[in-house]
Every structure is written in structure tokens, then in C-alpha cells.
Structure 1
Amino acid sequence: MITSAIIVICAFIIDTIIGDPNSKYHPVAVMGRLVGILDSLLYRKKANDPVKLVLGLILSIICLSTAYWLTRGIIWGMELLKFNWWIKIFLDAVILSFMISPKSLMQAGLGVINNLIHDDIEAAREKVHYIVGRDVNNMDEAEMVRATIETIAENTTDGIISPLFFFFIGGLPLAVLYRMANTLDSMVGYKNDRYLYFGRASARIDDILNLIPARIAGILIVISAAILHFDYKNAWKIMKRDAKKHPSPNGGFTEASVAGALNIRLGGQNYYFGKPHFRAYMGDPYQKLCARHIVSAIQLMYTATVLFIALVIILLPIVPLWWHSGF
């Protein structure tokens, strides 16, 4: 119990100090290359839809199994080699820190803010392009702010709460498995001609895994709003009212709660490959979107992260730590 608490705290400290190194050897980058290789090997353009579904499921099973058992193998290896307890703690914390991304989200948001403050619209669009999949060429300042806040809000679940949640219930192997599921969804979980069927299994697995963490994250954003003296009552109201409008069964919980807390409106017209796609509005436009709202979204994200870590540490003593048994 104490060991797991130390790992979580150390992972957060490592991420806060170092963040995600921009390296091709980063575990998530390696996951992405594995998905890309298997995608090219398994995808059959001329296959019928049921076959694409099966091939996509095989892709998911191979990737998720590899992530889980490779991580468990590393843990077993450290036990067989009788690594010092502190070395094992450190290595586990480093791996877990790779699975979370609060500092990366903060840096992405601050990068956009810095360019907007200096009226460098093109550079700001380039920064937004790195963190969203939508077209950015014609975005004005408000649209760039909206895209950045939506990314920070949604990734509060995907990039922080969910990995920590699965570490909480299943140890490091399950946290890595979740990150692989999220990587699969981000790479093949699209509703386009290529991935509508081939990527469906990956998208559904990600949806299922995020069902509980997304709702926890939404509630944590509301509590964070109260702590930070934002509009927590409106955050709760908008989350209940608008969360289910999101095209994802999970993404709306943090986006709606952030919109309510900041008294802004998210959603609207997005463009993907030149084609318009309307995303339902979340929140009410009481305030005009501006750069300071990105700062507020970052504050909510970090506060929710600290709250969840505290919650995990409090609950660890009453949860059976079966993953330390080696099974």
C-alpha cells in the first residue's frame, strides 16, 4: 500500500519536473510505432466490413496483450534479479510518469498563450495543430483558445485520471495497457473510410475503459472549481446538462464541467480535411473566449490531478493489491 502511494507521488513529481521527453524511445512513441506496423500488416482495403472488424479486433488484442505482458515481464524481471526496493520504486515511477501527461498539457497550453500574447497567429495555429486533429488554417484567436481548452479538458481524463485509475485498480501493467488502448484509439479510432470498421474495436475498447474515469474526472473538475473559486455550481449544472451531447460517451464530462466552471461555451463548427463537422455546444457564452481561459483550464486540470492522487492514496488501504502478488 505504501509502495503504491510512493510510486504515484514520485511519478507525478517526475512528470512535474521533467515532463514527457520528446524522444522516439518514449514508451508511448514506441506504442505508436507498433500500432502503425500492425495497421499496415493487418489492414485489407478490399476486405468486407465484417472481416475488417475482426482484423481490427486482432490488432487491438495483439497491442493490448503486448503492452500488458511486457510490463508484467519487466516487473517479474526486477523481482528475479532482486533489484533494490528503491530502484524498483524509481523504475515503476518512471514508467508510470510516461503514462501521464499533465506537464505536456500545460506546456501545450502555455505555448499557445505565448504566441497569442505576442500576436503571432501563425505560430499559435502551428502550436494548436500539434495538439488537435482538426484543421487550423482559418482559426481565429477564439477558435484556437476553444480547441486548446477542449484538448486540455478531454485529456485530463485520457492523459491523467484514467492511467492513474488503472494503476490504482491493477498496478503498472494495467496502466500501460490503458495507455496502449488510448494510443490505438488516437491512431485508428476514426470514422473515416479506412477506419470506420477496422478501427471500431479500438474505439469501443477506449470508450469502455474511460467510462468510470471520465465521470470521476468530471466530478473532480467541479470540486477543483470550488477550490479555485470558479463557478462550481455552474460546472455541476453544465456537466449534468451538456456532457451527453459530446460525440464521445466520455469526453463531455470534463469539457462540460470546464465550460461551466469558466462560464464559457465549448463546441461548435470544426473542420477536418476541409469538411465541416458541428460539435454540440457545451456551456453558455457568458464570457468571450480568451487566452486567460487556457490558464484557468490548466489550473483546473492540475487541481483535479492532485485531488485524484490524494483520493487514490486514501483509498489504497482498502483495495486488495493483487498486482503485487506476481499473478
Structure 2
Amino acid sequence: MLDIVLGYALDLVAGDPYWFPHPVRLIGRFISFMERMLRGIARAPAAQKAAGVALAVITVSITYAVLYFMLKYARQWNEAAYHALNIFFICMALATHSLSYEALKIYRLLENGNIEGARHALSFIVGRDTECLDTHQISRAVVETVAENASDGVVAPLFYLFIGGVPLAMAYKAVNTLDSMVGYKNERYRYFGWASARLDDVANFLPARITGLLIALVAVVCRGSSKRALMTMVREGSHHESPNSGYPEAAMAGALSITLGGPSTYGGKLVDKPVLGQALRPIEPSHIFEAVRIMKIASLLALIIGVLVLWAI
């Protein structure tokens, strides 16, 4: 339990060094290698679907096994080395620092009037086209990203850390990476990515709803509306195309009294997403700062609740 607290604190303060080979990058390389190999033997739709199932099972199983045995043998060798390694991987599993850093970088660019720089920075953290976005659209995209990744990058890894330690948390990161790389509904991945997308839906089902509740709980601390956040999440969380992303996004929209969602362009194609929330005020760069603050306090509350539950057990 202490390792989780220290790993959380390390991530909050230092985050992931850009120069260091992040474990998720290694998982991504493994997925790319397996995809090339499996696609060579899977041509028909049914075969692609089976290959996609194999990819998901193999990737998640190997990730869990590698971390489990790495930590097991480290503990047998040296207790201090085990805790250092455990804390390191806990830090790597969390993304509080990197999420807030990237969001606030765009916030500062917008505050300084550098919209071209903000568009460029945004292109690294979202999949939508950013070249023609105005200040309000950029702010909306960043707030949506902060809300969604509050679940995927913070609360969900903490959830699995408390349940099953580093091996389970990194297995979750493998699921998340699979979905981000192959879990698309386009022609290339309709069959091959089906298993990865469904597995990600299952893995995020509880964390996404917990994140929405946490956002609603802490909204009042950040001069937002907890009542409006909770009502918006309950009423509109299921409107999103994703079975999970809508809950933290709807809660954030309600907390900040803004609207999220709506039309966005991906690869030149207009996608009309459902609008979440009711705009009592137009979205501005300042909402990015407020969203990051809500995310950080929600993550801290998640940590405290997890520690108290483990302590009670």
C-alpha cells in the first residue's frame, strides 16, 4: 500500500521521463510485431477475428506474467530492490503528471495568443484534425481529453493497482494500448481489432463510472457544481458512442457548466458526436486549467479511498 502512495507521489511530481523507454512503448512494439505476424496467416474475416482474439490474449497474458515474475524474483533477491522496482512501475502505470503537463502547455499557449502552437501541441494528444480549430474548439478538445484520460490514465490504473498490484495494472495498460492501436471500426481493424476494443470496454466499465463520480464529488472544491456534474453524468453519460468515455466527459461538462462533444473532423471526415452538458458560459482556455485541477483532486481522492479500503480489509 505504501508503494502505491509513493508511486503516485513520484508520478505527480516527476512523471515519465521522455528519454526513458516507457513500458507502454515496449508493449506497443510487441503489438506491432504480433500484428504483422498474425496478419500474415489471417486473411478471411473469421480468421482475422480469431487472430485479434489471440493478439489480445497473448499481449495481456505476457504483460502480466513478465511483471509478476520480475517482481517475484526481485523480492527474492533483495527487498529494497523489489520496492524500488514496484514503485517505478506504479509511477509508469499512472499519467497524472503527463496529462496535466500536456494540457497546461496548451493552456499557456492559448493564454499567450499562440494558437498555431496550441494546434500543433494538441495534435500530439488527440486523434482529430487540429489545423483549423479556433480557441474554443481547442479548449473543448483538451477538456475532453483530460476528462477521458482521468479514467484511462489515472483512476483505472489505480483501481487495478489496488485490486491486483503492478502486474494487473500493467495488464490493464496493455489492454488500453491494444485498443489505441487496433481497436478501430475502420476497414483495416473491423475484425482484427474487435477483441481488443471489447476487452477495453470491459476493463474500463467500472473505472469510467467511478471517475465520473469522483469528478462530481470534487467539483464543488474547484468552484464547480457537484450536483450539475452528477445529474449530467447520469442523464447523458450513456449518450456517447463509447460505452465508457461519456461518463467522465459528461461529469466534467456538468462540473464546469459547459458543453463537450459535438462535431469534430478526423482525417478529413466530419464526425458528429453527441453534445454533453448545458453551456451556462462559453468554453474558454481557463476551463482547461479548471479541468486539470478537478482531475488532480479526483485522482488524490481515488488514492485516499483505495488506501482506506485496503486498510479496512
What pairs up with 1:1-327 in 2 under 5 angstroms?
4=1, 6-23=2-19, 25-44=21-40, 47-81=43-77, 83-84=78-79, 86-319=80-313
| Rounded Cα–Cα distance in structure 2 between residues aligned with 1:167 and 1:39 | 28
| Rounded Cα–Cα distance in structure 2 between residues aligned with 1:45 and 1:189 | 20
| Rounded Cα–Cα distance in structure 2 between residues aligned with 1:46 and 1:316 | 45
| Rounded Cα–Cα distance in structure 1 between residues aligned with 2:15 and 2:230 | 31
Offset, 1:46? 7.4
| Rounded Cα–Cα distance in structure 1 between residues aligned with 2:108 and 2:133 | 16
Offset, 1:44? 5.0
Deviations 1:55-87 (CA, angstroms, capped at 9, x unpaired): 111111111011100000111111231x13x43
Offset, 1:228? 2.2
For the 8 Å contact 2:71–2:85, the answer to whether it is kept is no
Offset, 1:50? 1.4
Residue 273 of structure 2 aligns to a residue whose secondary structure is strand
| Rounded Cα–Cα distance in structure 2 between residues aligned with 1:138 and 1:122 | 9
| Rounded Cα–Cα distance in structure 1 between residues aligned with 2:192 and 2:102 | 31
Residue 268 of structure 1 aligns to a residue whose secondary structure is strand
| Rounded Cα–Cα distance in structure 1 between residues aligned with 2:111 and 2:221 | 27
Offset, 1:16? 1.7
Which 4+ residue blocks in structure 1 deviate beyond 3 angstroms? none
Deviations 1:209-231 (CA, angstroms, capped at 9, x unpaired): 11111111110000011222311
Residue 280 of structure 2 aligns to a residue whose secondary structure is coil
Unmatched 5+ stretches in structure 2: none
For the 8 Å contact 1:10–1:90, the answer to whether it is kept is no
For the 8 Å contact 2:216–2:226, the answer to whether it is kept is yes
| Rounded Cα–Cα distance in structure 1 between residues aligned with 2:312 and 2:206 | 19
Deviations 1:256-314 (CA, angstroms, capped at 9, x unpaired): 00000000000011111101111100001211111100001001100110001000110
Give the root-mean-square deviation of aligned CA atoms: 1.3
| Rounded Cα–Cα distance in structure 2 between residues aligned with 1:35 and 1:131 | 20
Deviations 1:67-114 (CA, angstroms, capped at 9, x unpaired): 100000111111231x13x43222211101101101111111111111
Residue 58 of structure 2 aligns to a residue whose secondary structure is helix
Residue identity in the other structure for 2:68: R
| Rounded Cα–Cα distance in structure 2 between residues aligned with 1:17 and 1:24 | 16
Residue identity in the other structure for 1:246: H
Offset, 1:317? 2.9
Residue 66 of structure 1 aligns to a residue whose secondary structure is helix
**TM-score, normalization by structure 2:** 0.97
| Rounded Cα–Cα distance in structure 2 between residues aligned with 1:316 and 1:142 | 42
Residue 124 of structure 2 aligns to a residue whose secondary structure is helix
Offset, 1:42? 1.3
For the 8 Å contact 1:45–1:194, the answer to whether it is kept is no
| Rounded Cα–Cα distance in structure 2 between residues aligned with 1:138 and 1:273 | 13
Residue identity in the other structure for 2:32: G
- Percentage of matched positions with identical amino acids: 35
| Rounded Cα–Cα distance in structure 2 between residues aligned with 1:79 and 1:24 | 24
| Rounded Cα–Cα distance in structure 1 between residues aligned with 2:42 and 2:154 | 38
